[in-house]
Amino acid sequence: MKVLLLYPSLRKEILGYGDMGAVGEPLALEYLAAGAIEDSHEVRILDLRLHPDDLEPTLLSFQPDVVGLTGYSMHVLRNLTTCRLLKSLLPTCYTVVGGHHATLLPEDFFVPQIDFVVRGEGVHPFRALLRALEAGGPVPPIPGVYTRQGDVFVDGGEPLSPAKAMSSWTEGSHSPMTSTAFPRPTVP
């Protein structure tokens, strides 16, 4: 399958600091791409922060079967607009939204132009979803994935949870430096 992964642009929004002038690599999309490539899918990543005018030409030239979008809360409206455009140009293309906001408030993406919402760590659920789509027929429940069925989204089950017990954030800094931006709890 042809898979296009998008990092949204904020060039038309005025949201405080936006991307704060720093553009980090779209690492989450690179992880998704690695899994999809391992399963023999043809994958492209388009970072719309760097190439804001390339969306429509890329959609029309690449003709993806699946488009995945990531994002934070500040990207919700942009991702919804992007999915509307995508469905108008490629109505049979599947749309998948994931990222921080989709994990915290997946219902914000329960709209007709979105087919799947991935919560939590997305590499394994995304690979399972691509396999199911490639096989054809109805998509079985996939943990961490909401699937649109008509006008409703069906929860595929709980995603993997982070191993928070292994982290010591509440114990102070993860740095050997003596000062920290994180307050250390005082225990009597």
Q: Judge whether 93 and 62 are in contact, CB under 8 Å.
A: no
Cα 67 to Cα 43: distance, rounded to the nearest angstrom: 10
* pLDDT for 123: 95
The pLDDT of 131-145, averaged and rounded, is: 96
Q: 98's torsion region: left (phi>0), alpha (psi -120 to 50) or beta?
A: beta
Assigned architecture for domain 2-160 = 3-Layer(aba) Sandwich (3.40)
How far from chain centre, in Å, is Cα 124?
13
Task: Report yes or no: 153 and 110 within 8 Å, Cβ to Cβ.
Answer: yes
| Helical H segments across 39-188, by residue range | 55-62, 76-89, 100-104, 123-135
Q: Taking the CA atoms of the chain, what radius of gyration do you get in angstroms?
A: 18
Strand 116-118 to 145-149 pairing: antiparallel
The residue among 56 and 169 whose pLDDT is bigger is: 56
Q: Are strands 2-7 and 66-69 parallel, antiparallel or unpaired?
A: parallel
Taking residue 47's Cβ as centre, other Cβ atoms within 10 Å add up to: 17
pLDDT in tens, 83-123: 999 999 999 999 999 999 999 999 999 999 999 999 999 99
Quickly count: other Cβ atoms within 10 Å of residue 132's Cβ.
Answer: 18
Question: Amino acid identity, residue 175?
Answer: S
For 175-188, how does the pLDDT look when each residue is reduced to its tens digit (9 = 90+)?
Answer: 555 555 555 555 55
Lowest mean pLDDT among 22-26, 48-52, 77-81, 119-123: 22-26
Q: Write out the DSSP string of 106-143.
A: GGGG-STT--EEE-S--HHHHHHHHHHHHH-SPPPP-T
Q: Where are the domains of the chain?
A: 2-160
